[in-house]
Amino acid sequence: MTKSNPVDVLVIGAGLAGLGLTLRVAQAGRRVTILAKGQLTEGSSLYAQGGIAAVFGKHDSFAAHIQDTLTAGAGLCRPQAVEYIVRRGPENIEWLIAQGVEFDRQSGADGAPNFHLTREGGHSRRRVVHAQDATGQAVENTLEALVRAHPNVTVLENHIAVDLICASKLKADPPERNLGAYVLDMTSNHVSPIAARVTVLATGGASKSYLYTSNPDTSTGDGIAMAWRAGCRVADMEFVQFHPTCLYHPHAKSLLISEAVRGEGGKLLLPDGEQFMQHHDPRGELASRDIVARAIDYEMKRHGYDCVYLDISHKSSQFISEHFPNIYKRCLEFGIDMTEQPVPVVPAAHYTCGGVLTDLNGRTDLLDLYTIGESGFTGLHGANRLASNSLLECLVLAESASNDIVKRIDSRSDQAYELPHWDESQVTDPDEQVVVSHNWEELRRSMWDYVGIVRTDKRLRRAQRRIALLQEEIRDFYSNFKINNDLIELRNLVMVSELIVKSALSRKESRGLHYTLDYPQPEKTSHPQDTILVPTNFVGAHLNPLWTSEQQHSSA
């Protein structure tokens, strides 16, 4: 046993949600330890190109942004969450500016204070605040510097959380409480417990469960899997967003071609130069992401094409290089000059709309455990995320959760308590590490083939059978050998993939990002239900009553 004084807040994950909450809590005078699997900014937020959706234009309104979000969400957005998050967008942009983030501005632009606002798919107005085409990088780098310099923050890079530490396992009171987490130092390969008054999961989504993704290697669903194992509910995991346009090139691992390229006039073309989006939706290239991705998938399969093309070469070279300098530069590295030729693109897994069920302060079913950002489920996105609402949610939930956490810490005094050491006495060094890499490849291929943009029950059951076999092998490996980050991530990805498939099988309709040939139409109901999965070790709901009355479709 280790007896230790807990840190005030343990933040697991260092994207915009994690960094934003860390900085706010630290500025409020509380001690924070933040974990990053790699370098502090190496998460999905760093690669966000388009920007942050917020109402600033004089021809825009909260009502319009709310309606666009509800429309994209295909009937499954929670209206209270949408209104809460949309209305807090402008003040959170102003908070970022106060921290030193510089957004693009334009003299005489349609908006105050003269932001250059772009328009993306699904938006009826120009409302996306951005920093050229590298908004995530601008925000992350600014917050990273502030977090590193703050005296109340301890930064642990190259550390990955293994599992949460629940009071119920220690027979502590109350049992429905989280006490911290076991953490692997990837440099020393040593696991230690970190005690915390409050633990925050800000680990991002699980797009790495698919063969092709726009996300970095860190997107392995760690927070969702850990919360599920600890007894928390998850919701709407079937809704995996595929970004319509990632660069198709054998050496381009995950290069996203921003939604803003279509927002500024880019056209999708077949290899013979024919436009096709007008046959799928009257909004053409500005249709929501689910429709555009499905249209591209349909055309590729119908004709047997490896890719389609995104063309903005009709714009001037100056316009392209000024609006998309980073995309332009990266494409040139692969021999593609987007000022003169169309860019080959394919859809790729991009965003996990479902996640750990939370209220609008990020509170989960487990006391003292919060989840924010892509790993959480507030109900903002519904069946399909509206472009550039993801960073908005990260910002707003980081603010509301930090306020709630500070109040909770101040309302009680915690005593030091004992946490058990990580037990490795019965395990050995792995003798067949290749098993992990083979299982990783099999999982990602099965998810891509059977749980992709277009689904059937038959395909989903095939995936379910393969995932069950992988689960068995990984449990055996996990129980008998010393763990490393590859095994931890694979264990989490297989768990989250199981939740995605289970959720998809339970939804007997097509809605938003979940499109199945067996049920091609949405159910005719004015009140569609979320898919809420309940673990067998469910700890009991401690959420805002707003979230406790929903129908729970299935349990595991």
Predicted pLDDT of residue 422: 85
Which one of 332, 349, 366 terminates a domain? 349
Rounded to whole angstroms, the Cα distance separating 111 from 90 reads: 12
Same domain? For 249 and 304 the reply is yes
Rounded to whole angstroms, the Cα distance separating 100 from 417 reads: 40
Same domain? For 77 and 151 the reply is yes
| 518 found inside a domain | no
This prediction has a pTM of 0.89
The encoded tokens of residue 447 equal: 């998810």
Which one of 468, 490, 506 terminates a domain? 506
CA distances from 71 to 64, 122, 124, 283, 354 (A): 10, 8, 11, 13, 17
What residues does 9 pair with on adjacent strands?
32, 198
**DSSP element (H, E) containing 534:** strand 532-534
Distance of CA 71 to the CA centre of its chain: 20
Same domain? For 266 and 401 the reply is no
Which residues fall within 8 angstroms of residue 483, CB to CB, at 6 or more apart? 162, 184, 191
**DSSP element (H, E) containing 297:** helix 289-303
Which one, of 313, 315, 312, 308, lies nearest residue 272 by Cα? 308
What residues does 369 pair with on adjacent strands?
199
Rounded to whole angstroms, the Cα distance separating 186 from 174 reads: 32
**CA triple 506-511-516, angle to 5 deg:** 65
Q: Phi-psi bin for 500: left (phi > 0), alpha (psi -120 to 50), beta?
A: alpha
Rounded to whole angstroms, the Cα distance separating 368 from 176 reads: 9
| 439 found inside a domain | yes
Number of independent structural domains in the chain = 3
- Residue range of the domain that includes 274: 243-349
DSSP 3-state of 552? coil
Query: Do the strands 308-311 and 267-269 form a parallel or antiparallel pair, or are they unpaired?
Result: antiparallel
| 373 found inside a domain | yes
| 516 found inside a domain | no
Distance of CA 445 to the CA centre of its chain: 20
Which one of 461, 489, 506 terminates a domain? 506
Mean pLDDT in each 10-residue stretch from start to end of the chain (556 residues)? 78 95 97 93 68 89 96 94 97 95 75 76 88 83 95 97 90 82 94 95 94 86 97 96 89 80 94 95 88 90 91 95 90 95 93 95 95 97 93 96 94 72 73 74 91 94 96 86 89 97 97 95 91 90 51 42
Same domain? For 46 and 142 the reply is yes
Same domain? For 161 and 43 the reply is yes
Query: What CATH number did the domain enclosing 447 receive?
Result: 1.20.58.100
Predicted pLDDT of residue 44: 67
End-to-end CA distance of the chain: 32
Distance of CA 534 to the CA centre of its chain: 21
Predicted pLDDT of residue 290: 81
- Report, as residue numbers or ranges, the catalytic residues: 289
Contact at 8 Å (CB) between 382 and 355?
Answer: no
Percent helix, strand and coil across the chain, each rounded to 5? 40, 20, 40
Same domain? For 183 and 279 the reply is no
DSSP 3-state of 427? coil
Rounded to whole angstroms, the Cα distance separating 200 from 175 reads: 18
DSSP labels for 25-51?
HHHTT--EEEEESSSTT-SGGGG--S-
Predicted pLDDT of residue 541: 63
| 19 found inside a domain | yes
Query: Do the strands 355-357 and 234-235 form a parallel or antiparallel pair, or are they unpaired?
Result: antiparallel
Same domain? For 412 and 487 the reply is no
| Strands (DSSP E) found in 47-177 | 52-53, 117-118, 128-129, 153-157, 159-166
Query: What CATH number did the domain enclosing 285 receive?
Result: 3.90.700.10
Same domain? For 301 and 391 the reply is no
**CA triple 428-433-438, angle to 5 deg:** 140
Predicted pLDDT of residue 506: 97
Same domain? For 363 and 345 the reply is no
Predicted pLDDT of residue 255: 82
Contact at 8 Å (CB) between 8 and 25?
Answer: yes
| 218 found inside a domain | yes
| 160 found inside a domain | yes
Same domain? For 31 and 72 the reply is yes
| 45 found inside a domain | yes
Q: Cβ-count burial of 551 within 10 angstroms (0-12 exposed, 13-18 middle, 19+ buried)? A: exposed
The encoded tokens of residue 190 equal: 């040593």
Rounded to whole angstroms, the Cα distance separating 264 from 247 reads: 18
Peptide bond into 430 cis (omega under 30): no
Rounded to whole angstroms, the Cα distance separating 376 from 355 reads: 5
Predicted pLDDT of residue 556: 47
| Dihedral, CA of residue 100, residue 86, residue 206 and residue 525, to nearest 10 | -170
Same domain? For 199 and 86 the reply is yes
Same domain? For 30 and 140 the reply is yes
